A and B are shown apart, each in its own frame.
Chain A
Amino acid sequence: MKRLGLISAAAMFASGAAMADELSVVCSAEQDWCDLMVAAFEAENPDIDVLMVRKSTGETLAQVRAEAGNPKIDVWWGGTGDPHLIAAEEGLSQSSDVDTSELLGWAQNMAQISDGRTVGIYAGALGIAYNADILSEKGIAPPECWGDLEDPRFVGEIQVANPNSSGTAYTELATFVQLFGEDEAMTKLAAVGQNVNSYTKSGSAPSKAAARGETGVSIGFMHDMVKLASQGFPLKIVAPCEGTGYEVGAVSIIEGARNFEGAKKWVEFSLRADIQSRAPEVGAFQVPSNSNAQVAPESPDLASIKLIDYDFATYGSSETRERLLARWDAEVGDPNPEQ
């Protein structure tokens, strides 16, 4: 990774001097976490040279699809589980056959529904964040439940991503459906929609906007909110009283990987308790999937949050997804309040 030799004309054409063993990793988690993982892995496996690049899950899935048949990626580590499941469903990833017995139930579940093609590495619960400064300035009582967000006191103050472009928002949509049933979920989402000032494209954008006071309230993943709050923004985090859904971050080995052995080593490495315990060092507050890994004190405590029994097999399938999104478009929609 840190090989910083002079990039000469020779290097332009040479595809790298005779390196021991190269492992090509795409990382969809936060950059610092990616760097930490690579450094730790290379320290343990000095004979493997890890080539890592960070790309978002959507970009990675698009690249894996385009490269199908002659992939340049060996392992895809991190990022929300749905795209990993889609890759597994489309036969773009392969089973790693690693031992998952130490993992928590939701992580094993991931491996089961994908025939071992993708394994859970962390979980993050969905939540509500609000900017304490803005809400107290405007005299708005903070929300406690999903239901509160329908209240007219939040008109023009809520920001959430569009489920057509964002996996985070799709998790929210699926959570509402699992909490309230499909019909009521749509009614509730439409009612919340009356208060939404904009549907962003990216799932992490609403919480960033809330942190800076561009919006009062946001919906997103709690670990992102924890990170923003720990940077010093006046962001308060709410675990909704009705219960909430969660995402599972995953790791997959790409079908046709050139270095399968190295890839398998990486997967085993990333599931180990001592490795997962290091995530908080770089401000990654997701809950680790290894039952023996230490959970950071800042991490949202999944035990105290009312978590729903999220059905990844059903709501991760393309068929359900397309149906729910079509209903969302028809009944909730993007009202474009700015025009």
Chain B
Amino acid sequence: MKKTVLIWLAIGLASFALLPWHMTDDGLLDFKWISDGVASTGLLSTLAGQWWLAPVGFALVGALIVQLAVSEPVSRARWTLGIAGAGLAAIALQGLIIVRAGPRVLESLFAGEMVTAGQPGMGAGAGLCALALLFAATISVSQSGKGQGDAFVISTIGLIVALVAIFVFFPVVHILVRAFEVDGGYSLSEFFPRFFSSDIWGLGCLYGQRSCGVGINSLFLAIMTGAGTTLLGLSFALIFTRTDFRAKKLLRVLTVLPIITPPFVIGLALILLFGRAGTVTEFFADLFGWEQTRWLYGFWGIYFAQLLSFTPIAFLVLIGVVQGVSPSMEEASQTLDADRWQTFRYVSLPLMRPGLANAFLLGFIESLADFGNPLVLGSGYNVLSTDIYFAIVGAVADPAKAAILAIALLTLTLSAFMAQRIWLGKKSYATITGKADSGQNAALNPVLKWVCYGTALPWAALTVIVYSMIIFGSFVKLWGYDHSFTWDHYIRAFGIDFTSGRLSGVAWDSYFTTLTISSVAAPLTALVGLSTAYLLVRQKFVGKDAFEFSTMLSFAIPGTVIGVSYIMAFNFPPIELTGTSIILIIVFVFRNMPVGVRGGIAAMSQLDKSLDEASITLGANSFTTVRRVILPLMGPAILAALTYSFVRAITSVSAVIFLVSAKHNMATSFIVGRVENGEFGLAIAYSAVLIITMLAAILLLQLLVGTRRLRRSDRVQQVAKVA
């Protein structure tokens, strides 16, 4: 352990002395910063007059001396902790106080030419020094006897807390304080009347007045969507694991399609099918002589589109959980003379609770934060996410209103989160244990089976229709009017000039950027998400609930708010990221990490703790246990996290729209521009190519990650044929 601290401190010192402390104009890997004559490393900058960097160097050296000189372990750890903590504080304070234009506060203290010259954003040197000090501190915490003395666990907690603080809290605070802003000052008394106004929480629609508040609209929609997607997702999961349905492979593809569909496309397809002049509408109007109505625009349209879009998320969470329910329990139930319905109702279903709760929570939050569907189909049904967007970019920009609505949205999320915690309670849902477990899952009882078929299959049929329409739309001249076949849209988007070998299509730039950024973001997201899940399920520490909620925060805040808050927070030193691809990667990692967390929690709740304990008893440390025992059993959760974060990075729109820059433009922002411009053909052709790319990527991931082998024989008990 002492060795680890020493290694980290050495890394810290080396980066303080050798790496550029600040961001360099040409980037770290363009080695110009070495030769351009400007003092760049932490050490040289300090000597050159940026004295405020000195405490960081002192902290690193000090901690090193303590490590080498103090022999009594506990006091050595405490001293190191204190010094490293002070070093971290010094890094944060100097960064926040001295920005590009000089000191922001305490001007009298920070006087002098070098200070008023300011400093650019932190770079690689600062980052590594901070990391080294952080690990020195967390390892010391474990050595001083706290947290079961497990350095790996405490270091992971420390790292994730630090990352969430920097990349979730720090930016979000920037925008939320706007809610309290009144004429340049801050006031609480103004906030409450505005927050509780009937524009947000009005129940007018119940009394037959004009409309309810946006908060109530959002809440109602989110509950309906959460419940609907959870039920549909469960039906699918049951069909997959508990029946002998023939076309499972096809269904599997169908359940993946909606999440890999770029925004606006589903809404557009629905309009063409069910709008007032839609194909299906006209067919029924001709058949029955009905009036062609605009029913699709409003609550039902959004609900319909959200069911189509978000059921797969519920399915992804539930499939792992439903698979994981131990057959032994179901067999035990049947041995005790329960019939198949009773087994399902009293054994399997309760064991699926964590999955159901997490699926509902995700559906609920997704619905609240959904932006594309309400925008296309919302009409008079206002919801928080679109209102926030237009409070920021509308004809009258009102950041205070946006912040207040964002707080309303967070309140809803927090309530859902609490409700979920209460419902799950403190029961154990572990069903995958180290014990021999070779039974077969009970098949569904016939009624339930047909209920599942009855709910899931119409959904599947609709998905097939919607996607055939999309493919069709990309090959015709003018979708809905001129249905003559054409390759034009594909050639414009992805044309290649073979004579010169140039990629002449307009979409290539954003296509490659999108794929690169998503492939970098996906594994990082899975890593952060699943480590967080591991900490939440397996470790006990102070402030765990607050920690869990904070990881959900970035997901619950609408993308628009995240996007604007990222610009506000990361356009200036200490952390200057706007206009880079790093800001896009970071926003994806921290926005999509909650899905990894939720999926990981659901899957890990099922792994019996005795597995960890056995491993620890045999002398493995937590890191080895995670690597050798937990990870192999987490296959589906890893796959879900990787897949989901990859496709979300490709398909998300609202957060990205503020963060894309000319160098790093994303596919969705390109598509939205085309849709706004009325070029549906090109937008849909691009979407179709993205869908196929993502499908290929998912299949590849599935091959790489592999399936989890639970040493159980055939999954579904063959139902004896009754003559």
Chain A residues with CB under 8 Å of chain B are 1-2, 4, 7, 9-10, 12-18, 24-25, 30-32, 35, 50-56, 58-59, 61-63, 65-67, 69-70, 72, 82, 134, 156, 163-167, 169-170, 197-202, 204, 208, 211-215, 224, 227-228, 231-234, 321-322, 325, 334-339
Contact = CB atoms under 8 A, between A and B. Distances in A.
A68 B26 CA distance: 23
Given A166-B395, A197-B294, A338 B379 contact: yes
A250 B568 CA distance: 26
A69 B568 CA distance: 11
Contact of B277 (A52, A58, A214, A232): A214
A62 B509 contact: no
A237 to B, nearest CB: 15
A62 to B, nearest CB: 5
A200 B582 CA distance: 35
Given A199-B380, A200-B379, A53 B660 contact: yes
Contacts of A335: 210, 380
B298 A338 contact: yes
B582 A12 contact: yes
B394 A58 contact: yes
A201 B378 contact: yes
Contacts of A163: 395
A52 B506 CA distance: 13
Nearest to B205: A339
B678 A227 contact: yes
Nearest to A213: B277
B259 interface: no
Interface string B650-663: 00000001101111
B170 interface: no
B553 to A, nearest CB: 20
A201 B276 contact: no
A4 B677 CA distance: 25
A325 B395 CA distance: 10
Contact of A338 (B297, B395, B572, B657): B297
Contacts of B298: 338-339
28 contacts: A1-B662, A2-B502, A4-B509, A7-B516, A13-B582, A15-B25, A16-B663, A51-B663, A53-B662, A56-B393, A59-B657, A59-B658, A62-B393, A70-B571, A134-B277, A164-B395, A197-B379, A198-B380, A212-B480, A228-B678, A233-B481, A322-B396, A335-B210, A336-B211, A338-B294, A338-B297, A338-B298, A339-B381
Interface string B588-613: 00000000000000000000000000
Contacts of A14: 26-30
B390 A208 contact: no
B275 interface: yes
Given A35-B506, A59-B657, A67-B571, A204 B396 contact: no
Contacts of B395: 58, 82, 163-167, 169-170, 321, 325
A274 B100 CA distance: 42
Interface string B240-269: 000000000000000000000000000000
Given A67-B578, A204-B676, A338-B380, A321 B275 contact: no
Contacts of B520: 12
A164 to B, nearest CB: 6
A72 B661 contact: yes
A170 B397 CA distance: 13
A25 B27 contact: no
Contacts of A66: 564, 567-568, 571, 658
Contacts of A55: 657, 669
B28 A63 contact: no
Nearest to B515: A7
A224 B578 CA distance: 33
Given A53-B661, A58-B397, A166-B394, 6 more contacts: A14-B26, A51-B661, A204-B678, A213-B276, A214-B297, A336-B380
Contact of B662 (A52, A200, A232): A52
Nearest to A5: B512
A204 B660 CA distance: 23
Given A12-B582, A51-B663, A62-B658, A208 B29 contact: no
Contact of B396 (A12, A164, A334): A164
B392 A62 contact: yes
Interface of B: 25-30, 100-101, 205, 210-211, 271-272, 275-277, 294, 297-299, 375, 378-381, 386, 390, 392-397, 477-478, 480-482, 502-503, 506, 508-509, 512-513, 516, 520, 564, 567-568, 571-572, 576, 578-582, 657-658, 660-663, 665, 669-670, 673-674, 676-679
A2 to B, nearest CB: 7
**Is the contact region of chain B dominated by helix, strand, or loop, or is it mixed?**
loop
Contacts of A224: 678
Contacts of A212: 271-272, 275, 277, 480
A214 B390 contact: no
Contacts of A197: 294, 297, 379
A211 to B, nearest CB: 8
A-B pairs, 8 with minimum CB distance: A58-B393, A14-B27, A51-B662, A213-B277, A336-B380, A338-B298, A165-B390, A198-B379
A232 B486 CA distance: 15
A231 B294 contact: no
A72 B660 CA distance: 11
A315 to B, nearest CB: 12
B26 A7 contact: no
B569 to A, nearest CB: 9
B390 A56 contact: no
Contacts of A200: 379
B674 A31 contact: yes
A336 B378 CA distance: 11
A61 B379 contact: no
Contact of A201 (B27, B375, B581, B660): B375
Given A67-B567, A321-B395, A214 B380 contact: no
Contacts of A2: 502, 509
B26 A201 contact: no
A212 B378 CA distance: 17
A12 B582 CA distance: 7
Contacts of A53: 660-662, 665, 669
A339 B30 contact: no
Contacts of A12: 520, 581-582
Nearest to B212: A339
Contacts of B582: 12-13
B410 to A, nearest CB: 20
B363 to A, nearest CB: 23
A273 to B, nearest CB: 25
Nearest to A333: B210
A173 to B, nearest CB: 10
B664 to A, nearest CB: 9
A31 B676 CA distance: 10
Nearest to A156: B294
A259 B29 CA distance: 25
A321 B396 contact: yes
Contacts of B657: 55, 59
Contacts of B679: 31
Given A70-B572, A232-B477, A65 B396 contact: no
A214 B275 contact: yes
Nearest to A334: B380
Which residue, A1, A9, A231, A321, has most C-beta atoms of chain B within 10 A? A231
A67 B579 CA distance: 11
Contact of A18 (B26, B299, B506, B509): B26
B29 A7 contact: no
A15 B26 contact: yes
A69 B395 CA distance: 23
Nearest to B666: A53
Contact of A72 (B516, B578, B678): B578
Given A7-B512, A335-B210, A72 B571 contact: yes
A93 to B, nearest CB: 16
Contact of A54 (B275, B392, B571, B673): B673
Contacts of B272: 212
